[in-house]
Amino acid sequence: METSQGVKTVLIQQAEAGVRKLLESLQTIEAGDLKGLEQQVLETIFVVGRGWMESILSEPAPEERAPSQRMGSCGHPQQLEGYRPKQVLTLLGKVTFRRAYYRCVVAEDRAESPARGAGEADASPQQACTHGEAPADVLWGLQGQRTSAGVQQAVSYLCASLTLEEAAETFSRLLPLQMSARQALNLMQATSGTVDESKQVSIKKARRFLVGFPIISWTDDIHLAQKAVSCQTESGVHSTLHG
């Protein structure tokens, strides 16, 4: 992935700002306070990382540097409507970036075109198109969703060996994101098809990330490869997710 010189400069500046803030915070940490030092360094990494992701994601894609018109995936010409913000839940926390949003101009063209018979208008299914899209969402795999693949994999792995309540609590303790049991269930349901097709790959990726945290006791991988995973909340309600 190529980055412009402007983005490289911004990333370096954000890293330098993070280091300066860390140096200032060290003044309040007593010598020998390993826990305090560890937490401060980790917090700095998360803050700088979120800034990096926002800067990289907000960089215009090559096609968006072109004229403000493009051909949409529906086959219609599209006009740049503006830049819209999008918030995504990532392993580093909540990230908000701006991306170009395009809308089809078919309806506008129809209004400006000469009057035609009702039968002719009805014969063209494209006339009713009001489709709009953000190319960056497709590029980064965020079309129709606001959760990164990393978060989905982490939640799926935790729910494979813990109840929904326990999985949400563990996730919230490890990462700068608050997760409820309901949110964990929704993520599991949304990704159940993907887990079914490539559960081993998802489990391995999630495990590589989460295994570094010593406070978690992992179960045998055989359990993670089961075809059916039952997640039970503290209220006793079971939700069987096939993966």
138: tokens are 């497709």
Q: Are residues 220 and 205 in the same domain?
A: yes
The verdict on residue 113 lying in a domain is yes
User: How would you write the pLDDT of the chain (243 residues) with one tens digit per residue?
Assistant: 878 888 999 999 999 999 999 999 999 999 999 999 999 999 999 999 999 999 999 977 665 565 688 888 888 899 988 889 999 999 999 999 999 899 988 754 555 555 444 444 443 444 446 578 899 999 999 988 899 999 999 999 999 889 999 999 999 999 999 999 999 988 887 766 544 444 445 445 545 555 544 433 333 333 443 333 344 434 443 333 333
Angle at 216 between CA 215 and CA 218, to 5 degrees: 150
The verdict on residue 34 lying in a domain is yes
How much is the pLDDT for 61? 63
Q: Are residues 163 and 230 in the same domain?
A: yes
- 204 Cβ partners below 8 Å, 6+ apart? none
How much is the pLDDT for 67? 63
Q: Are residues 53 and 67 in the same domain?
A: no
Q: Which domain covers residue 112, as residue numbers?
A: 62-139
CB < 8 Å & 24+ apart, contacts of 119-126: 126/74, 126/75, 126/76
Q: Are residues 186 and 128 in the same domain?
A: no
Q: What are the DSSP calls for 181-192, one per residue? A: HHHHHHHHHHTH
Taking a C-beta distance cutoff of 8 angstroms, is the pair 172, 117 a contact? no
Q: Number of folded domains in the chain? A: 3
Q: Are residues 161 and 231 in the same domain?
A: yes
The verdict on residue 144 lying in a domain is no
Q: Are residues 121 and 175 in the same domain?
A: no
How much is the pLDDT for 162? 92
Q: Is the pTM of this model over 0.75?
A: no
How much is the pLDDT for 132? 85
- Which of 84, 110, 139 is the last residue before a domain boundary? 139
Nearest to 100 by CA among 117, 115, 85, 119: 85
The verdict on residue 97 lying in a domain is yes
Q: Are residues 78 and 118 in the same domain?
A: yes
